[in-house]
């Protein structure tokens, strides 16, 4: 017969059912415990011991646990591993549980403390400082389909920023790639393929309910002041807020008024383009090697997050771009002003995220102190910059936003100590002099502690026990402790001491005087803690009431940090201020790739700059030349220069004039997508198809080696057709790199196409890559020379040369690609390879001689040696 579950296990199973597939952190004393499969999963991820606790239904219960005080670090590792966690905490004290048992008539000895899920911890709903990356936003997105159009609501709850937008089904993955969401929620049965989506009830995604909740949240009767939101946007917003309500168990985080993101205000980039250009992450998945790593000179986490948002969503509005560039130029032109500003910014706390924790109900006295100090520094920056003349328009708009917090700052400067603690349970964060009654309670408590010190000295004198001590712990409170050998003196009935506990190395006692003093400390301390808690709630309420103004100040400071950081990067790298126009040109002089240039500089090498000049009459460049010659780098650097310019920053070039780009496309590099059943060639064709169907006359496209993933004739035919389509149909600005020399003939029929190549030379059998771009077609591909550089064995290279000669001869004579290969001896190239190897050896020996340092006899011996070697190898 199967055994029964214990009351604790019954409580656990009920909470686990509520956890909806999340790992359950079950609070037991000072630990969060995990049981059954949760314990197995967590122990493997966290590398902690898996044990067992009793039995459930006669089966041992797997168990592991983590300390409550250090749970954040373990949570971070679980979230990073893709887990979601439900926190089941105690919602009553043991004493309250006993009182409840008495009221219910239940046995007090068997009462179980009530527990409830107080919060879900998921990748997109983190606010804790220890769980977040300071320089990276943490975005949650909700998506919903309404009548064939997708609505997207996204937010970073650590700062409260919320954005609503819409897109077509075909653009959804591109939109989500731009958002970079850590977590995506969608209604049950959502048909579009989205990775790692969390499904929620369809009823949460109602547009009417979304509109109602937004109005209620921001206490308005209409949303018109925030933007003209569509039904699909409001439906997505409803799903987002419902999910946040669910994971917070009714406690919503900071959500600022939603911003409308119109599709025509930002440069469009698809998922493949973002991956190819490595904007925020490199191909290896980290920040190193990405564009932002090469550009970011921000001194605050908020500034770095704003820069990432700028690079992920470059602008398409000339006035907005010009405003950002003018502010960067303002700081670039005044190095002393820039240095002074950055020094102040560097010391700023992250007030945006501190505000997010306070509004979410997870704030600490330290968070309040950070908001106080950040707002005070913002006022200093406003006064400092306000004294300058000829301020740009964007700075004029930012300065007023950083003021207006005087009363709140003054209040918190009086109320809080200089460095408030991270925990509020033990008090000590309200400044002396702010509350006279609190000061008196602290004095009473302090006097009582001094009385206990005096009492300890008197007891030592009265008993003659010099080692007597008065101690305190959380279980016994205050007690007197002596070594066992002195315990008899305190055990006497008339000693005035009462025995409490005997231990191996100590005996503990109480006394009436100690009990009275301890009572005074406890009472005063309790009242003091209650008073501090009351003040904390009052200060929190003041901050919450001013949340929108505080968030606006945080955003203004981040924009200043981005602008000053962009100016610093420009000065450091000798970058130029780009000129953005409404035409369709692209003129870049001495352009460089910011990431590659930084990598070369680190190794002491110099980057070779190149020009790019596209216009209405010369909008498509066909670029040939050897692998490793710099074609892909040239393509990408021009795309990145366009992106940086429209993000509102300086660019790595001597001069740049850029016609506004509406869509940026990059088809560079080879990769497969086995998860979606796509080969390398299929991925290439899918990405090329997206370009041909979406690129407009205002777009900028870079294409590298289209057609290489299939047979030579198929690839050439596809590349030929794609070039014609780009030229005749899309009519966009395009850089097209290829090894198909036959494409050069298109210059005769495509009037806006010009031929270019990256220069290379062979010198004494070695390939010298010049990384320079020149006009005209490439004379050859140098593939065999590159293979030799890569370390392909010399016999293989020699064999390839023989095959190549036959191919070229056959094509010249018969027009057939493989003509003449039938009579090619299989091992004919071996002798050629050995001959070439012997010749290489002689050249190496000759190069090793220092002729000027040799004596006549040494020179003669060397000559005889070379003659002997030449004869033996029959060269």
Topology alike, domains 296-306+314-405+546-571 and 436-535? yes
Rounded to whole angstroms, what are the CA distances from 192 to 168, 197, 695? Answer: 11, 10, 23
Q: Average the pLDDT over each of 133-142, 303-312, 732-741, 766-775 and give the range with the smallest value.
A: 766-775
Confidence class of residue 875 from pLDDT cuts 50, 70 and 90? very low
Cα separation, 747 vs 738, in Å, equals 14
Which DSSP helix (H) or strand (E) runs through 373? Answer: helix 365-386
* Residue 273 region by backbone torsions, left for phi larger than 0, else alpha for psi between -120 and 50, else beta: alpha
Please answer whether residues 568 and 561 qualify as being in contact, where contact means their C-beta atoms are separated by less than 8 angstroms: no
The whole-number average pLDDT for the span 155-176 is: 93
Structure token pair of residue 844: 């190496």
Q: Is 693 part of any known ligand binding site? A: no
Confidence class of residue 840 from pLDDT cuts 50, 70 and 90? low
Structure token pair of residue 723: 């070039």
The CATH code of the domain at 296-306+314-405+546-571 is 1.10.1420.10
Q: Is 603 part of any known ligand binding site? A: no
Cα separation, 594 vs 587, in Å, equals 18
Q: How would you class 336 by CB atoms within 10 Å of its CB: exposed for 0-12, middle for 13-18, buried for 19 or more? A: exposed
What is residue 668's predicted lDDT score, i.e. its pLDDT? 85
Nearest C-alpha neighbor of 737 from the set 636, 632, 586:
632
Percent of the chain with pLDDT strictly greater than 70: 91
Higher-scoring residue by pLDDT: 243, 494 = 243
Cα separation, 445 vs 429, in Å, equals 16
Q: Is 872 part of any known ligand binding site? A: no
The whole-number average pLDDT for the span 673-694 is: 78
- Say how many CA atoms lie within 13 Å of 54 toward its Cβ: 10
What is residue 679's predicted lDDT score, i.e. its pLDDT? 73
Number of H helices, E strands in the chain: 28, 27
CA 78 to chain centre: 17
Residues 642-673: pLDDT tens digits? 999 999 999 999 999 999 999 999 998 766 55
Please answer whether residues 553 and 402 qualify as being in contact, where contact means their C-beta atoms are separated by less than 8 angstroms: yes
What is residue 4's predicted lDDT score, i.e. its pLDDT? 64
The CATH code of the domain at 134-261 is 3.30.420.110
What is residue 179's predicted lDDT score, i.e. its pLDDT? 93
Please answer whether residues 635 and 702 qualify as being in contact, where contact means their C-beta atoms are separated by less than 8 angstroms: yes
pTM score of the predicted model: 0.85
What is residue 527's predicted lDDT score, i.e. its pLDDT? 87
Which DSSP helix (H) or strand (E) runs through 805? Answer: helix 794-814
Residues 42-55: pLDDT tens digits? 999 999 999 987 77
Residue 756 β-bridge partners? 623, 775
What is residue 827's predicted lDDT score, i.e. its pLDDT? 47
Residues 28-83: pLDDT tens digits? 988 999 999 999 999 999 999 999 877 776 778 999 999 998 898 899 999 999 99
Residues 583-607: pLDDT tens digits? 999 999 999 999 999 999 988 999 9
437 pLDDT higher than 60: yes
Q: Average the pLDDT over each of 167-176, 203-212, 596-605, 830-839 and give the range with the smallest value.
A: 830-839
Number of neighbouring beta carbons within 10 Å of residue 258 = 25
- 205-237 in b/e form (b: 16+ CB < 10 A) is bbbebbbebbeebeeeeebeebbebbbbbbbbb
Residues 763-800: pLDDT tens digits? 666 667 778 888 988 766 677 777 777 777 888 878 77
Alpha helices for 180-262 (secondary structure H): 207-218, 231-247
Q: Is 182 part of any known ligand binding site? A: no
What is residue 345's predicted lDDT score, i.e. its pLDDT? 97
Q: Which are the contacts of 3, defined by CB distance < 8 A and separation ≥ 6?
A: 55, 57, 58
Nearest C-alpha neighbor of 655 from the set 583, 581, 590, 585:
590
822 pLDDT higher than 70: no
Confidence class of residue 628 from pLDDT cuts 50, 70 and 90? confident
Number of neighbouring beta carbons within 10 Å of residue 328 = 25
What is residue 284's predicted lDDT score, i.e. its pLDDT? 85
Lookup result for tokens 């066992």:
484
Q: Average the pLDDT over each of 521-530, 563-572, 727-736 and give the range with the smallest value.
A: 521-530
What is residue 813's predicted lDDT score, i.e. its pLDDT? 59
Cα separation, 57 vs 63, in Å, equals 15
Nearest C-alpha neighbor of 703 from the set 672, 677, 730, 678:
730
Please answer whether residues 286 and 275 qualify as being in contact, where contact means their C-beta atoms are separated by less than 8 angstroms: no
Q: Is 584 part of any known ligand binding site? A: no
Q: Which are the contacts of 840, defined by CB distance < 8 A and separation ≥ 6?
A: 765, 794
Please answer whether residues 232 and 145 qualify as being in contact, where contact means their C-beta atoms are separated by less than 8 angstroms: yes
Q: Is 631 part of any known ligand binding site? A: yes
Q: Which are the contacts of 694, defined by CB distance < 8 A and separation ≥ 6?
A: 268, 270, 663, 665
Residues 82-139: pLDDT tens digits? 999 999 999 888 888 888 888 888 787 778 889 999 999 999 998 888 889 999 999 9
The whole-number average pLDDT for the span 396-414 is: 94
- Say how many CA atoms lie within 13 Å of 811 toward its Cβ: 9
What is residue 671's predicted lDDT score, i.e. its pLDDT? 60
What is residue 1's predicted lDDT score, i.e. its pLDDT? 34
Rounded to whole angstroms, what are the CA distances from 157 to 132, 139, 154, 683? Answer: 11, 7, 9, 35
Rounded to whole angstroms, what are the CA distances from 39 to 21, 23, 261, 621? Answer: 13, 8, 43, 60
Measure CA of the first residue to CA of the last residue in the chain; give whole Å.
93
Domain 7-121 homologous superfamily, CATH: DNA repair protein MutS, domain I (3.40.1170.10)
Q: Is 626 part of any known ligand binding site? A: yes
Q: Domain residues of the chain, as ranges? A: 7-121, 134-261, 296-306+314-405+546-571, 436-535, 577-788, 800-861
The CATH code of the domain at 436-535 is 1.10.1420.10
Confidence class of residue 837 from pLDDT cuts 50, 70 and 90? low
Please answer whether residues 425 and 435 qualify as being in contact, where contact means their C-beta atoms are separated by less than 8 angstroms: no
Confidence class of residue 2 from pLDDT cuts 50, 70 and 90? very low
Q: Average the pLDDT over each of 212-226, 257-271, 726-740, 841-855 and give the range with the smallest value.
A: 841-855
Query: What does the mean pLDDT of the chain come to?
Result: 88
Confidence class of residue 678 from pLDDT cuts 50, 70 and 90? low
Lookup result for tokens 């206490």:
219
Q: Is 677 part of any known ligand binding site? A: no
Q: Average the pLDDT over each of 7-11, 222-226, 380-384 and give the range with the smallest value.
A: 7-11
Domain 577-788 homologous superfamily, CATH: P-loop containing nucleotide triphosphate hydrolases (3.40.50.300)
Phi, psi of 774 (to 5 degrees): -135, 160
Rounded to whole angstroms, what are the CA distances from 816 to 620, 719, 779, 807, 810? Answer: 30, 20, 21, 8, 6
Nearest C-alpha neighbor of 642 from the set 601, 684, 687, 612:
612
The whole-number average pLDDT for the span 245-267 is: 92
Confidence class of residue 829 from pLDDT cuts 50, 70 and 90? very low
Cα separation, 619 vs 366, in Å, equals 57
Number of neighbouring beta carbons within 10 Å of residue 361 = 14
Structure token pair of residue 575: 């970058």
823 pLDDT higher than 80: no
Cα separation, 506 vs 750, in Å, equals 98
Phi, psi of 186 (to 5 degrees): -150, 160
What is residue 857's predicted lDDT score, i.e. its pLDDT? 78
835 pLDDT higher than 60: no
192 pLDDT higher than 50: yes
815 pLDDT higher than 80: no
Cα separation, 367 vs 177, in Å, equals 32
Q: Average the pLDDT over each of 285-294, 731-740, 835-844 and give the range with the smallest value.
A: 835-844
- DSSP letters, 536-564, are HHHHHHHHHHTHHHHHHHHHHHHHHHHHH
Residues 230-241: pLDDT tens digits? 999 999 999 999
Cα separation, 295 vs 586, in Å, equals 22
């Amino acid at each position: 017969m199967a055994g029964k579950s214990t009351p604790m296990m019954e409580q656990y199973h009920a909470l686990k059912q509520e956890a909806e597939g999340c790992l359950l952190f079950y609070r037991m004393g000072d630990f969060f415990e995990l049981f059954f499969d949760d314990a197995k999963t967590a122990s493997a991820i966290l590398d902690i011991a898996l044990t067992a606790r009793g039995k459930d239904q006669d089966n041992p219960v797997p168990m592991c646990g983590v300390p409550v005080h250090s749970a954040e670090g373990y949570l971070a590792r679980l979230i990073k591993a893709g887990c979601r966690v439900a926190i089941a905490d105690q919602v009553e004290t043991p004493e309250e549980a006993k009182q409840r048992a008495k009221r219910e008539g239940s046995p007090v000895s068997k009462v179980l403390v009530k527990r409830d899920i107080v919060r879900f911890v998921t990748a997109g709903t983190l606010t804790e400082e220890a769980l977040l990356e300071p320089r990276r936003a943490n975005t949650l997105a909700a998506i919903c389909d309404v009548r064939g159009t997708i609505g997207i609501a996204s937010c970073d709850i650590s700062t409260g920023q919320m954005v609503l937008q819409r897109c077509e089904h075909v653009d959804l993955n591109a939109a989500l790639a731009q958002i970079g969401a850590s977590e995506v929620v969608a209604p049950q049965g959502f048909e579009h393929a989205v990775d790692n989506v969390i499904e929620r009830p369809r009823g949460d995604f109602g547009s009417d309910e979304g509109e109602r909740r937004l109005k209620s949240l921001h206490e308005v009767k209409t949303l018109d002041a925030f933007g003209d939101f569509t039904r699909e946007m409001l439906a997505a917003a409803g799903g987002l807020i419902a999910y946040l309500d669910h994971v917070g168990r009714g406690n919503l985080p900071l959500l600022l008024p939603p911003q409308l993101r119109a599709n025509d205000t930002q440069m469009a980039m698809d998922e493949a383009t973002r991956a190819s250009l490595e904007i925020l992450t490199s191909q290896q998945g980290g920040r190193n090697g990405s564009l932002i790593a090469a550009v970011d000179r921000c001194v605050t986490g908020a500034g770095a997050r704003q820069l990432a948002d700028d690079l992920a969503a470059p602008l398409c509005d000339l006035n907005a771009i010009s405003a950002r560039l003018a502010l960067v130029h303002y700081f670039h032109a005044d190095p002393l002003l820039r240095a002074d500003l950055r020094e102040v910014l560097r010391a700023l706390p992250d007030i945006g995220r501190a505000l997010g924790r306070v509004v979410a109900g997870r704030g600490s006295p330290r968070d309040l102190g950070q908001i106080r100090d950040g707002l005070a520094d913002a006022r200093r920056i406003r006064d400092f910059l306000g004294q300058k003349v000829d301020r740009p328009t964007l700075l004029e708009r930012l300065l007023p936003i950083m003021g207006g917090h005087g009363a709140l700052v003054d209040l918190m400067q009086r109320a809080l100590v200089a460095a408030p603690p991270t925990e509020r349970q033990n008090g000590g964060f309200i400044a002396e002099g702010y509350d006279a009654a609190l000061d008196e309670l602290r004095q009473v408590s302090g006097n009582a502690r001094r009385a206990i010190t005096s009492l300890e000295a008197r007891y030592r004198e009265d008993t003659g026990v010099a080692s007597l001590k008065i101690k305190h712990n959380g279980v016994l409170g205050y007690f007197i402790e002596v070594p066992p050998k002195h315990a008899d003196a305190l055990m006497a009935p008339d000693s005035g001491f009462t025995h409490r506990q005997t231990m191996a190395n100590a005996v503990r006692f109480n006394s009436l005087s100690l009990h009275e003093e301890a009572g005074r400390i406890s009472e005063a301390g309790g009242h003091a803690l209650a008073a501090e808690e009351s003040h904390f709630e009052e200060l929190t309420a003041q901050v919450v009431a001013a949340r929108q103004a505080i968030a606006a100040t945080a955003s203004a400071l981040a924009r200043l940090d981005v602008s000053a950081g962009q100016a610093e990067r420009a000065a450091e790298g000798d970058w130029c201020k780009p000129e953005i126009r409404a035409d369709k040109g692209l003129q870049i002089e001495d352009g460089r790739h910011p990431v590659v240039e930084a990598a070369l500089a680190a190794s002491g090498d110099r980057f070779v700059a190149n020009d790019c000049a596209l216009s209405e009459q010369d909008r498509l460049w066909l670029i040939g030349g050897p692998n490793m010659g710099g074609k892909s780098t040239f393509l990408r650097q021009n795309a990145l220069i366009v992106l940086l310019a429209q993000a509102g920053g300086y660019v790595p070039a001597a001069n740049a004039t850029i016609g506004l780009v509406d869509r940026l496309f990059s088809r560079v590099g080879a990769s497969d997508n086995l998860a979606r059943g796509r080969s390398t060639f299929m991925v290439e064709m899918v990405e090329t198809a997206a370009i041909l169907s979406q690129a407009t006359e205002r777009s900028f496209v870079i294409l590298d080696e289209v057609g290489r993933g299939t047979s030579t004739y198929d690839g050439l035919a596809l590349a030929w057709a794609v070039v014609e389509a780009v030229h005749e149909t899309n009519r966009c600005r395009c850089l097209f790199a290829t090894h198909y020399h036959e494409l050069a003939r298109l210059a005769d029929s495509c009037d806006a196409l010009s031929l270019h190549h990256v220069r290379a030379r062979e010198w004494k059998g070695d390939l010298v890559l010049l990384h320079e771009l020149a006009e005209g077609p490439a004379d050859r591909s140098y593939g065999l020379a590159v293979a030799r550089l890569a370390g392909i064995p010399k016999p293989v290279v020699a064999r390839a040369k023989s095959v190549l000669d036959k191919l070229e001869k056959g094509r010249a004579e018969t027009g057939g690609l493989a003509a003449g290969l039938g009579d090619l001896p299989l091992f004919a190239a071996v002798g050629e390879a050995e001959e070439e190897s012997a010749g290489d050896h002689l050249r190496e020996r000759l190069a090793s001689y220092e002729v000027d340092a040799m004596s006549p006899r040494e020179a003669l011996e060397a000559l005889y040696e070379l003659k002997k070697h030449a004869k033996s190898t029959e060269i």
